[in-house]
Structure 1
């Protein structure tokens, strides 16, 4: 997914379409939030540096100076998005209710969000995973790390359910965590095609029954 050529060479090319920008001391989180929305809406390959300049209000030189190139902006934007996504999953799974209820509610959230999103927007992490090129090892490692964090949170929820007697104690919590991550990702992908909440809720119910 890396673009050819030096970012510094690219920065010297026609910058029309990029606004004059803000002072160098911009808020990185705000910039990454804007960049992630552009990548999320259009995908990596269809997003241009001019698109990112317009969304962030920064010059090419400012973006390149901090993130290196478009690929670097993408990685930083993905990290920024993932931090919020993982934190929200942890909050749902650690809600002050029985483990089986918090887990089901977390899965239902993904089912409902998948149905609510329009077009092919889906989830930024899911979209990036599907668009990822085979040779992009840096992005592959980034996505794998995000998935590991999510699977670990799901496995911890399974352990809590096993401790309370709600889930089958013989189940391997790591394998179940990976299984539930697959369910989450599948809900997001299916939601891109069929916006049928009832059908996705039934999938969640089947997944929950597999744990008892």
Structure 2
């Protein structure tokens, strides 16, 4: 467990009556993530976060600093799960090209299911990011690098099996696939049909051959 989680789990606060309160960081961050996911960073208020987490302002501020700090911690929490799930899909016990295609189709299906609603928290946060927010920019870039690395590894496995063009630059291919994943999330918000998004995935797969 990292230092921030240890601190949060043991954190006490002088509440309205001066009594300490302890809370589980993962539970709090899961609730905060949901609020940011539903409303976006700028529309979310501290009162929204207090209501969702069941904590007082002092508890949240004492551990995370401010709304921006809560958002960064919530994004970290969400991204850990998102990266782990991507890794699991890409390492499924099937042929490398099938695992990659199914992973991409998952994003297409989710995008369609959430049409007109919330998209991926990572994508939403990236689109809301202000130009001068270097801390968030660095955080999002690190998440994207992790995902692109997983996708590049999937391309390498496909090259090793003979399914993908061996001359492809795996790093560029991984970043291309990351762009595709993020694009599927955005396009799905404007009611693109699943067939249309599946067609895009198939074009991407042909580009790797």
Shared fold, TM over 0.5: yes
The answer to which of 111-120 and 32-41 deviates more is 111-120
Structure 1 residue aligned with 2:204: 207
Secondary structure at 2:208 match in 1: coil
2:27 to 6, 17, 30: 30
Structure 2 residue aligned with 1:57: 54
The CA distance in 2 between the partners of 1:175 and 1:77, in whole Å, is 29
Contact 1:116-1:195 at 8 Å conserved across structures: no
Q: Deviation per CA, 1:106-142, whole angstroms, max 9, x where unpaired?
A: 0000000000014241110000000000000000000
Aligned residue runs from structure 1 range 145-160, under 5 A: 145-160=142-157
1:136 to 133, 137, 147: 133
1:82–1:154 distance in 2 versus 1, CA, 3 Å? same
1:125 aligns with 2:119: no
1:81 to 74, 78, 82: 78
Q: Deviation per CA, 1:62-110, whole angstroms, max 9, x where unpaired?
A: 0000000000000000000000000000000001111000000000000
- Show structure 1 runs of 4+ deviating over 4 A: none
Query: Any unmatched runs of 5+ in structure 1?
Result: 1-18
Q: State the shift of 1:25 in Å.
A: 1.4
Aligned residue runs from structure 1 range 192-203, under 5 A: 192-203=189-200
1:115 aligns with 2:112: yes
The CA distance in 1 between the partners of 2:190 and 2:57, in whole Å, is 36
Structure 2 residue aligned with 1:173: 170
Structure 1 residue aligned with 2:43: 46
Structure 2 residue aligned with 1:13: none
Q: State the shift of 1:195 in Å.
A: 3.6
How many residue pairs align between the two structures? 193
Query: Any unmatched runs of 5+ in structure 2?
Result: 1-15
Secondary structure at 2:108 match in 1: helix
Q: State the shift of 1:23 in Å.
A: 5.5
Q: Deviation per CA, 1:23-57, whole angstroms, max 9, x where unpaired?
A: 62100000000000000000011000000000000
Secondary structure at 1:95 match in 2: coil
